[in-house]
Amino acid sequence: MVKGLDRMSTLVTLARINILLAVDRFRRDNNLTVKVQSYLVSNFLDDEVFSQLKGKVGPERLDVRSIFHSQQVLLLARYILVYGTVDSGEQTEESKEARGILGKCLLFVSDLLVSPEMGADLRNNAMPKNKRTIILQLSAASGMEVNNPPNIRSSVVRSDALFGDILKRTTSDLNLAVVFKERTGLEINEYVDFNIGALVNYIVRDPIELMEKAEVHFVNPETFFPPECKDSAQRFWNIELGTLERYREELTAGDLLPVFGPVIS
């Protein structure tokens, strides 16, 4: 199904969807979530598919049972990066029909997040309900933090305390701070600050702006950070930015290869 889609355009569209979903999660506003999900439905699902979906899941509110979520988007992006071969196909940024194909693919991906074995267990009415509930919780656990992130200020403090404690408790001859500086030219604290700066650029925006303006999703690495830290910023971008070929090689190395193979063809 994705073979006719332009790889770069599709990955850009998926990145924009994920940014919007992430900003919505940080806002924690049910009414806003409904608007975001409705916007995605109107852009990525045609009337026939949406009617079928409503018949399957019922009249559940979109803030209670969201159709689109980050784990789904990231898994499909990984699939397209690894298996996508078309760079002159339909542009999802320009074609409603192409976005409709992408929307169907995102729905299919949701089915892949539960293994066939788990699916069979969930449909087994002979199994005690409490056991099926545990299985369902396990199937959703991997995306729990992705879809329910803590407050960013609390998250930064928690991560610093957690990983700082690990470093203090772990006996090793490796000086992580020194090795990181040698390999990247950056102090670890600098790297963290740049990451937060890039993240804040999006989460402070009104999601409505992200829906209405395509250009706000893109940044210019040359001018994004102040000129006073130009050299450090360049080192940061050297770590974070790469080519599709580089990312594809990294994802297909060893056990990182997507397990579902060419399912969405």
Domain ranges in the chain are 115-149, 152-242
In sequence order, what DSSP letters do the residues of 58-105 get, joined into one string? Answer: -S--TTTS-S--HHHHHHHHHHHHHH---SSSB-TTT-HHHHHHHHHH
pLDDT of residue 115: 64
Q: How many helices (H) and strands (E) does the chain have?
A: 14, 0
* pLDDT the model gives residue 64: 80
21-25, 62-66, 254-258: least confidently modelled range = 254-258
In this predicted structure, the answer to whether residue 259 has a pLDDT above a threshold of 50 is no
Residue in this structure with the two tokens 């700082």, named with its chain if needed: 164
Q: Which residues pair with 90 in a beta bridge?
A: 5
The number of C-alpha atoms within 13 Å of 53 and in the hemisphere containing its C-beta is 21
pLDDT digits (tens, 9 = 90+) for 188-213: 889 989 998 998 999 889 999 999 99
pLDDT in tens, 83-118: 877 777 889 999 999 999 999 999 888 765 666 677
pLDDT grade for 76, boundaries at 50, 70 and 90? very high
Residue 3 pLDDT class (50, 70, 90 cuts)? confident
Note the pLDDT of residue 234.
95
| Rounded Cα gap, residues 7 and 2, in angstroms | 9
Residues 49, 57 contacting (CB under 8 angstroms): no
Distance CA 210, CA 36 (A): 10
Please give the pLDDT value at position 260.
45
Of 71 and 121, the structure prediction assigns the larger pLDDT to 71
Across the chain, mean pLDDT equals 82
Q: What is the pLDDT of residue 125?
A: 83
Please tell me the pTM assigned to this model: 0.76
Using the structure block, give the residue that is written with the tokens 């916007």: 39
